[in-house]
Structure 1
């Protein structure tokens, strides 16, 4: 964002940055207001109800705290604006809770409001108009964190916002504010810019740098009206900026806007979380029936559900347990299932590890493909190494079978490389991602003649391999239904 854009944004947030009056002028108007408030006691105000008495006590205590500070010849306009803001805020609340004050109270309230209404201090609308405008600003209550090093400012914000229906917590320092934010889900942060120790700009920077807090709206509040400081806060991620003494109408409106932004973000985050949970469920559920690559293809590409396919060169693997039908006839069904699940579980992990796509289980047989839907430059080698790893895993499987009193298993594996049509096959109501083509039939015929513990690879796969492997003696196979003679090679191991 350019400086001109930033300045424009600041201008939209606060219609103008007013010129500061001298610290001496601010002290004069504050002293006049404090003197008049201090001249009254609660006994001079007999008609106040309980709420109004609390407001008067707060205004009186604020004036008493301010009085000695005004005797100091400070030129810190930020601190003086802090004091003016606190005094004005309590006077406004008292004015609202006592619509028909007696002459003494009315004079004290008027003096405070007039003394802090100088445009350089607030630029606010008239009090009656402000109260009317506030009444028109309605929204959901929020959880507000008010951060200010001065106790009277924290108390004022807490009292004012609590009356507006919000739940308010306060923090006297940046460190405590960050600690609270780490333990609570806050809707809006009201952050004093000028604080000892960790100032508001550093707190803002840390909030916006933390992923879990970044979406929390932060409204900066400051008595300093320098443009450079405003620009720095906006660029650091501040959502809004108010000057002390703050305009109650603007504060209420901006808190309402901040709460709404936070609610929209929370709803969007909830929606994203639900989508992620649904996707994890879909992956976990359908991943048991389809390979991860196929599930990803469907989820990430809606057109992946359309019927049809494309021509792919793939390496096809078919494996089968030798003599399984006889074994299954001699064992109870639960023992057969236990033995088969152990075998298929181990083989599945190995195939997926090498990037293969499991097309289907046919009883004890496995049909897998390397090269679709995800293609790798070394798919033939992946298939070869996968087959070797599968045969090597049989020793561990048989060791477990022996412990459970189950028969030992031996399988034959066939590899063949060729062109197939890969895609969604079936109807609109029922389809599957599968493969069709002459190469599939050839692989099946090779697998039929593979012996126990043997890996047979077709000539096409041998020619496609990139690495070096030890091969056994080649042999010719005349397979039923296939005119050509198939040349196959036993795959023994990969050469170093």
Structure 2
């Protein structure tokens, strides 16, 4: 076996070309014993040597182009060593010396004198890799390298093609060359990192440029890593493994976030039919709000119901009763929520709502009054629709009272509700019993809490069951114009 040239003091180009010539001799002697795919790889390797020789003779050649060719030479040499190292020892030794010359060209420490079977391997979860490079041999090498490790590799010859691929597939890692004719790597990197669906995709820049300003520019633009051509394949595998792991973590976090959003929408849509938006929000944002108990709140309480509803319902078919009550409650619910009231419950045709819990506002009493006025105004449209469908017209009485109640979760660990307890609740119910159809009665406590100007009728005193003191109430006629 020929020992080959060992002049370590020779310029790297001379050393590399001499080693290439030695390799060709070894190949010519053994080509008949090689498989077709290995012979193809040797032809591509020798084509690269020819291009390199031409570049070295051309004073206008730039480092990036030279590094591209060296990357191809290194890639095919690495793969040939993996394929032939144990069966063609002479060729393996020649390839080892060639790779050492390539390393010296890139000022890397030579480590290629180990047999291919002893080199460190990097195992990672298979990923979907996009390799972007304008040189076909570099794209082919990337695909060959990474496919051997179980990755699915697609290639793009330019920036526009790369962006189309990203738009059509879920890419785990992008390997990106910088110098390309149609759209350079800097622009591709910028577009990837500005795109809301691509920005989390790791981008590894692989370039023959080694100027520090260019490296910093790429990292600042969002590149996850920067490798020099000709790259170390083991190092590339390690970087790809790290990139895939980052992408997988991001995908899992994104899936978890989407699941949380769907769950929250479901909770809001489902429980929003039974609780006010404010209570649902309070539960979602403050889980301790589910604990039993409550606190003292100053609130304005509203109660309303349909006058004579029992008699009306006895004269209608069950389906008509449901239509009538749902139309009424649906319209009233929208109005109460628009005025930021909390609906505590529906009791048949009656509505119990509170202004001031779970969130307190300075204008709770005013919003309650404006809400009651809007509810009475809405009765004209409800009755118009009732007449059109042959249903009876209805009227409602509404009562408002302001006082201190305990607001919180009431019930047991198995079944509870957000509700209100206190004497003012009973007072409001008694005032509502005394209201006529189309009338809004407010207690003196609510009248005193109002900040706006409203037209009210003469006050009257009520003596109601279960309450010793007389209650003074006023009918609300509207807002002052």
TM-score scaled to structure 1, two decimals? 0.88
- What's the counterpart of residue 453 of structure 1? 438
- Where structure 2 has 5 or more consecutive residues not aligned to the other structure, the ranges are 1-9
Deviations 1:239-287 (A, max 9, x none): 2221111001101111111111111211122122222212221221111
Deviations 1:156-181 (A, max 9, x none): 11121122211111122223222321
1:120 to 80, 87, 106: 106
Answer whether contact 1:134 1:252 (CA < 8 A) is retained. Answer: no
Answer whether contact 2:192 2:198 (CA < 8 A) is retained. Answer: yes
How far the C-alpha of 1:289 sits from its partner, in A, is 1.4
Mapped to 1, the partners of 2:125 and 2:53 lie a distance apart of: 38
Answer whether contact 2:405 2:424 (CA < 8 A) is retained. Answer: yes
- Identify if the C-alpha distance between structure 1 residues 131 and 106 changes in structure 2 by more than 3 Å, giving closer, same or farther: closer
1:318 to 303, 326, 337: 303
Matched, 1:220 2:216: no
- What's the counterpart of residue 413 of structure 1? 398
- Identify if the C-alpha distance between structure 1 residues 133 and 98 changes in structure 2 by more than 3 Å, giving closer, same or farther: closer
Mapped to 1, the partners of 2:211 and 2:360 lie a distance apart of: 60
Matched, 1:91 2:96: no
Matched, 1:229 2:214: yes
Mapped to 2, the partners of 1:64 and 1:204 lie a distance apart of: 32
Answer whether contact 1:88 1:113 (CA < 8 A) is retained. Answer: yes
How far the C-alpha of 1:183 sits from its partner, in A, is 2.1
- What's the counterpart of residue 462 of structure 1? 447
How far the C-alpha of 1:194 sits from its partner, in A, is 3.3
- Identify if the C-alpha distance between structure 1 residues 469 and 128 changes in structure 2 by more than 3 Å, giving closer, same or farther: same
- What's the counterpart of residue 11 of structure 1? none
Mapped to 2, the partners of 1:348 and 1:256 lie a distance apart of: 56
1:478 to 438, 463, 478: 463
- Identify if the C-alpha distance between structure 1 residues 333 and 79 changes in structure 2 by more than 3 Å, giving closer, same or farther: same
How far the C-alpha of 1:104 sits from its partner, in A, is 7.8
Answer whether contact 2:173 2:203 (CA < 8 A) is retained. Answer: yes
Deviations 1:23-78 (A, max 9, x none): x9565455546656677888960111243234224324444554544432135212
User: Secondary structure in 1 aligned to 2:183?
Assistant: coil
How far the C-alpha of 1:187 sits from its partner, in A, is 0.4
Structure 2 counterparts to residues 378-389 of structure 1, below 5 A: 378-389=363-374
- Identify if the C-alpha distance between structure 1 residues 399 and 40 changes in structure 2 by more than 3 Å, giving closer, same or farther: farther
Shifted more, 172-181 versus 151-160: the winner is 172-181
- What's the counterpart of residue 362 of structure 2? 377
User: Secondary structure in 2 aligned to 1:314?
Assistant: strand
Mapped to 2, the partners of 1:64 and 1:401 lie a distance apart of: 92
Answer whether contact 1:121 1:244 (CA < 8 A) is retained. Answer: no
How far the C-alpha of 1:357 sits from its partner, in A, is 0.5
Answer whether contact 1:26 1:80 (CA < 8 A) is retained. Answer: no
- What's the counterpart of residue 9 of structure 1? none
Matched, 1:192 2:192: no
- What's the counterpart of residue 278 of structure 1? 263
Structure 2 counterparts to residues 335-414 of structure 1, below 5 A: 335-414=320-399
User: Secondary structure in 2 aligned to 1:116?
Assistant: helix
Mapped to 1, the partners of 2:376 and 2:12 lie a distance apart of: 89
Let me know the Cα RMSD of the aligned residues.
2.4
Structure 2 counterparts to residues 50-129 of structure 1, below 5 A: 50-74=36-60, 76-100=62-86, 105-106=91-92, 109-110=95-96, 112-118=98-104, 120-123=106-109, 125-126=111-112, 128=114
Matched, 1:289 2:270: no
TM-score scaled to structure 2, two decimals? 0.91
User: Secondary structure in 1 aligned to 2:103?
Assistant: coil
Mapped to 2, the partners of 1:263 and 1:312 lie a distance apart of: 49
Answer whether contact 1:194 1:200 (CA < 8 A) is retained. Answer: yes
Mapped to 2, the partners of 1:112 and 1:169 lie a distance apart of: 29
Answer whether contact 1:412 1:454 (CA < 8 A) is retained. Answer: yes
